[in-house]
Amino acid sequence: MGPAAMPTNNSAPDYAGDIDVRQAWDMLTADPKAQLIDVRTAAEWTYVGLPDLAPLGRQVHAVEWQSFPSGEINPDFVRIAGEEMKRAGAPNDTPLLFLCRSGARSKAAAIAMTRAGFTRAYNIAGGFEGNLDGEGHRGNVNGWKASGLPWRQN
């Protein structure tokens, strides 16, 4: 892997580190085993959109970290995500790239999967929608959508 796949922030000992959306795309492009796990809610996937990995011949794994509207942590997240990785043929040293709205839930998911034995669990900083802009809107400053990466809406 080249420098684009290296974490941009200091790696915490409890997960592989933070990468930005471009680094995530580069890693997904360079490594056909790398997996993208979107941990947002079903409502977000439906109404806001999902990354589109069709240009890479792959699909996003959609596994909720928290339930909507309660905000409760999904107690089955690690089991479900682990089963998805097994079906995808992704061993424990496969790069797993976790995405949420702006990077907080995905960091928690990366930590959980690292604790479950996955050694290369990354958080995609900036997430799908990114940070709020000066007018309080997401999707304009940073993140998957604002970076012009492929995405779709149902």
Model pLDDT for residues 86-141, shown as the tens digit of each residue: 999 999 999 999 999 988 999 999 999 999 999 999 999 999 998 877 887 777 77
13 — pLDDT class (breaks 50, 70, 90) = low
What percent of the chain is predicted at pLDDT more than 70? 92
Averaged pLDDT for residues 25-51? 96
Q: Is the peptide bond before 69 cis (omega within 30 degrees of 0)?
A: yes
Q: Record the tokens describing residue 112, joined without a space.
A: 């959980």
What domain range is 148 assigned to?
14-152
**pLDDT greater than 70 at residue 66:** yes
Task: Residue 80: give its domain's CATH number.
Answer: 3.40.250.10
Per-residue model confidence (pLDDT) at position 7: 47
The token pair that represents 100 in the structure block: 């949420």
What contacts 24+ positions apart, CB below 8 Å, involve 29-32?
A: 29/56, 30/1, 30/2, 30/4, 30/5, 31/1, 31/5, 31/95, 32/56, 32/58
In a domain, 140, yes or no: yes
H helical segments located in the chain: 21-30, 42-47, 77-87, 104-115
The number of folded domains in the chain is 1
